[in-house]
Chains A and B, each alone.
Chain A
Amino acid sequence: MTQTRSRFLTVMLTLGLAFFYIPILLLVIYSFNNSKLVPVWGGWSTRWYQELFQSEEVWEAVLLSLQIAVVNATFATLLGTLAGLAMVRFGGFRGRTLFGGMLVAPLVMPEVITGLSLLVFFISLSELIGWPSQRGFTTITIAHITFSMAFVAVTVQARLTGMGQTLEEAAADLGAKPFKVLTAITIPRLTPALISGWLLAFTLSLDDLVIASFVTGPGSTTLPILIFSRIRLGLRPDINAMATIMIIAISICVAIAAILIFRQQQAELRDQQMAFKEEG
């Protein structure tokens, strides 16, 4: 684009980024505060990290949340991909409108409603058929799959529409049966969307407090539930330490992703140069 940013836009962007990052930065700084009272600076220290690592309760919550997140992300990607394919590639089928509605609604549905409805559903089901006999890992995972598959489906749908159908037609023209077209062309082409869908579902699950609070049972404390129960009572330096660790972990993942994307772009650039040389 030839037009540049006006000064107003630059100011807004700078302020916006400051608004986004200053709270996070302060959170990290205060995690190294020696004082027990968060806002009162008492010198540098890593004592809250030590305390955190020694807490068995925290480790259990982390482990449970990670397990749920991985199972959720895998199933949500599977179901969301099928749903995306059905919406974009199969044209009209009976119940498409209902299906599309149910697929989009979880994107904006207030969490309290989803949580409440799933809880009463699980209780009614347990009364009716005796399953689920207790709430915890399974119920939380099912609840998470239900809302995060919608996010995967949107990602897959966008990619499928962007891809167009020509390559699939070309494969069919060369004799590939519909199932073969799916496995040899569509799925490989979808890979980037599947990866980002999986990561999205993983993060959503790891992040969810409200729905998990509804559908969890005794003894199943996920990480957000643990954090929430602690910060409800006020500021706690160990939570700052936990936040810092999470932010660093995510930043590392994101940095790796960025490097991979950068390499990919470099490779594409090389391809273009190679192709350009051939023109001459």
Chain B
Amino acid sequence: MAAIDAFSDTPWLDPAGQKPLVQIKGLTKSFGAFTAIDNIDLDIYQGELFCLLGGSGCGKSTLLRMLAGFETPNGGEILIDGVDMAHVPAYERPTNMMFQSYALFPHMTVEKNIAFGLQQDGVGKSEIKDRVHDILTLVELQDYKKRKPQQLSGGQRQRVALARALVKQPKLLLLDEPLAALDKKLRKQTQFELANIQEQVGVTFIVVTHDQEEAMTLSTRMAVMDAGRFKQIGTPTEIYEFPDSRFVADFIGSANIFEGRVVEDSADHILVTTEACDVFIDHGQSVKIDSRIWVGLRPEKIRIEKSEAAASGPNQISGIVDDVGYLGETSIYKVKLESGQIVDVAAPNQMRPSSNSDRITWDDKVLLSWEPSNAMLLSS
């Protein structure tokens, strides 16, 4: 259906027939013996807010720096709007970057910082003035244009950095940990602001972050990276609900993982048998019978109830509460199974623990169960 509508708002959801803004093909980068980026492919579409998520040293920043033109790839190619970037120096690329440290020029005022990029393009003085004014209005810093960066708060500096990168109307805006320097409360608020601004200006954003919550909130699509490769690319929902590997399931949120064997594979369900229990999954994925597989269960998708009864049938396990962690809105129960494996279960605290006489506590016998649609099938 999206193929008919050539100007779809969300081309990345149905890429057939769409032309990506950024095409990365077989890209490789190594520093000596260390491979930072290992033969990766990626397409990013106009209007996306794409997050690169990974731990430190996973290669996400190197990828961003190659897009900006600060690092030269050892192999593969980068195309932006169909143009090969191999021999285009940083200062001629249609990209702009927002640096993690913001990299505001300390010897220039806010206004001059923002005008700097336009001056390099030879934009006329009056136009520079107008565009600087407009962008300062967008980030709500009109009153601060005469100040030096060191006279601004962290949040204001962050907005100046964003304005400076956006004012050149790049085809692609690269953001390196844009919110990492802010404190937690401001970060949450700014996440939404950033997404709003991106929607208003319509520029494609690529954001590098190590914060999974940030990636989930901001992105249209995200890529989970590890050791220079993409582990999985998808929308936040896809990544969270249908991780395809143990790494992703564990990296995004948390997951209880059981190793097992496929014993039934029919059109509408499969049945996996594990040491702890049988797992019945009805979301239509098909796996070859008898193959070794991992099943993941999110802690919040498991029901927990006090029960002396043993498990009967699939998607049920009994165990003993080994530990309870009170987090305020939820509690985490660490349940020890007969096999010795510990399963995390998260349950909302609908009543105050003190007024709940029936609350689950240490050494209670409990029965865990979940819906057939909740289990996730994971490859290694």
A/B contact in complex, CB under 8 angstroms: yes
Using a CB–CB distance below 8 Å, which chain A residues touch chain B?
Answer: 166-167, 169-178, 180, 184-185, 188-189, 268, 271-272, 274-276, 278-279
Q: Which residues of A contact B92 (CB under 8 A)?
A: 175
Residue B6 CB within 8 A of the other chain: no
By a CB distance below 8 angstroms, the chain B residues around A185 are 105
Question: Across the interface, do A172 and B89 meet the contact criterion of CB distance under 8 Å?
Answer: yes
Q: Considering the complex, which residues of chain B in the window 83-100 have a beta carbon less than 8 Å from any beta carbon of chain A?
A: 89-93, 95-97, 99
Q: Verify A173–B95 contact, CB threshold 8 A.
A: yes
- Residues of chain A contacted by B156 (CB below 8 angstroms): 278
A8 to chain B, nearest CB (A): 40
Known: A166-B103, A180-B120, A189-B107. A173 touches B152 (CB 8 A): no
Residues of B within 8 A of A177 (CB): 91, 120
Residue from B96, B97, B120 with most neighbouring chain A CB atoms (10 Å): B120
Q: A174-B120, A278-B156 are in contact. Are A166 and B99 (CB under 8 A)?
A: yes
Query: In whole angstroms, what is the CA distance A279 to B92 when docked?
Result: 36
A169–B107 touching, CB < 8 Å: no
The residue in A171, A174, A189 that gathers the most chain B C-beta atoms within 10 A of its C-beta is A174
Q: Does B153 contact A (CB under 8 A)?
A: yes
Contacts across chains A and B counted by CB atoms under 8 Å: 78
CA distance A246 to B306 in the complex (A): 90
| A169 x B121 contact (CB < 8 A) | no
In the complex, are the beta carbons of A274 and B151 less than 8 A apart?
A: yes
Which 6 pairs, one residue from A and one from B, show the smallest C-beta to C-beta distance? A174-B117, A175-B120, A170-B103, A278-B153, A172-B90, A271-B150
What is the size category of the interface that chain B forms with chain A?
A: 20 to 34
Instruction: Establish whether residues A173 and B90, one from each chain, have CB atoms under 8 Å apart when the complex forms.
Output: yes
Residue in B68, B104, B150 whose CB lies within 8 Å of A268: B150
Q: Are A175 and B150 in contact, with the CB atoms below 8 A?
A: no
Contact A175 B151 (CB under 8 A): no
Provide 29 A-B residue pairs closer than 8 Å at the C-beta atoms, listed in order of the A residue: A166-B99, A166-B103, A169-B70, A169-B99, A171-B105, A172-B91, A173-B68, A173-B95, A173-B96, A173-B165, A174-B91, A174-B117, A174-B120, A174-B165, A174-B168, A175-B121, A176-B91, A176-B116, A177-B91, A177-B120, A178-B91, A180-B120, A188-B107, A189-B107, A271-B150, A272-B150, A275-B153, A279-B154, A279-B155
A279–B95 CB distance below 8 A: no
Asked if A275 and B120 sit within 8 Å, CB to CB, the answer is no
B196 proximal to A (CB < 8 A)? no
Which residue of B103, B106, B150, B155 has the most chain A CB atoms within 10 A of its CB atom? B103
CB pair A175–B168 under 8 Å, yes or no, is: yes
Excluding A170-B97, A176-B116, 8 further A-B contacts by CB distance (< 8 Å) are A169-B70, A169-B90, A172-B70, A173-B93, A174-B116, A176-B120, A184-B116, A278-B152
Q: Is B221 on the interface with A (CB-CB < 8 A)?
A: no
List chain B residues, Cβ under 8 A from A171: 105, 116
Does chain A have a CB within 8 A of B101?
A: yes
Say yes or no for B148: interface residue by CB 8 A criterion. Answer: yes
What's the Cα separation between A129 and B152 when bound, in Å? 61
Kindly supply a per-residue 1/0 record for chain B positions 69-86, scoring 1 wherever the CB is within 8 Å of any chain A CB and 0 otherwise.
110000000000000000
Chain A residues positioned under 8 Å from B29 (CB to CB) = none
Chain A residues whose C-beta falls within 8 Å of the C-beta of B165 in the assembled complex: 173-174
What residues of B have a CB within 8 angstroms of the CB of A184 in the complex? 116
Whether, in the assembled complex, B60 has its beta carbon less than 8 Å from a beta carbon of chain A, the answer is no
| Cα of A189 to Cα of B93 in the assembled complex, Å | 25
Residues from chain B with Cβ under 8 Å of A169 in the complex: 68, 70, 90, 97, 99, 103
A24 to B35, CA, bound (A): 61
Do B96 and A174 touch across chains, with their CB atoms under 8 A apart?
Answer: yes
Greatest chain B CB density within 10 A among A170, A175, A176, A278 is at A170
CB distance from A233 to the nearest CB of B (A): 53
- How far apart are the CA atoms of A6 and B194 in the complex, in Å? 53
Question: For the complex, what is the distance from the CA of A188 to the CA of B165, rounded to whole Å?
Answer: 22
B116, A275: Cβ atoms closer than 8 Å = no
B164 at interface (Cβ–Cβ under 8 A)? yes
- Measured in the bound complex, the distance between the Cα atoms of B101 and A96 in whole Å is 31
Cβ contact within 8 Å between A279 and B105 = no
Contact indicator B103/A167 (Cβ below 8 Å) = yes
- A276 CA / B150 CA spacing, docked (Å): 10
**Residues A275 and B152 in contact in the complex (CB < 8 Å), given A170-B103, A176-B116, A185-B105:** yes
Give, as a whole number of angstroms, the nearest-CB distance from B188 to chain A. Answer: 16
Give the shortest distance, in Å, between B174 (CB) and chain A (any CB).
8
B249 to chain A, nearest CB (A): 36
Q: Which of B227-252 contact A (CB under 8 A)?
A: none
Complex CA–CA separation, A272 to B91 (angstroms): 32
Measured CB to CB, the nearest residue on chain B to A277 is B153
B91 and A173 contact, CB distance less than 8 A: yes
B153 and A276 form a contact (CB under 8 A): yes
Using A174-B164, A175-B121, A275-B153 as known contacts, say yes or no to A167 and B105 having CB atoms under 8 A apart.
yes
Given the interface pairs A167-B105, A176-B120, the reply to whether A271 lies near B91 with Cβ below 8 Å is: no
Which one of A167, A173, A178, A184 has the greatest number of beta carbons of chain B within 10 Å? A173
Residues of the A chain whose Cβ atoms lie less than 8 Å from the Cβ of B117: 174-175
A167 CA to B149 CA in the complex, in Å? 13
Min Cβ gap A59→B in Å is: 41
Chain B residues numbered 133-176 whose CB sits less than 8 Å from any CB in chain A: 147-148, 150-156, 164-165, 168
User: Contact check: which of A167, A173, A276, A278 meets B97 at CB < 8 Å?
Assistant: A173
**Contact partners of A279 in chain B: CB under 8 A:** 153-155
CA distance A172 to B89 in the complex (A): 9
> Nearest chain-B residue to A165 (Cβ)?
B70
Q: Which parts of B194-235 form the interface with A (CB within 8 Å)? A: none
**Residues of chain A within 8 A of B101, CB atoms compared:** 166
Query: Is B151's CB under 8 angstroms from A275's CB?
Result: yes
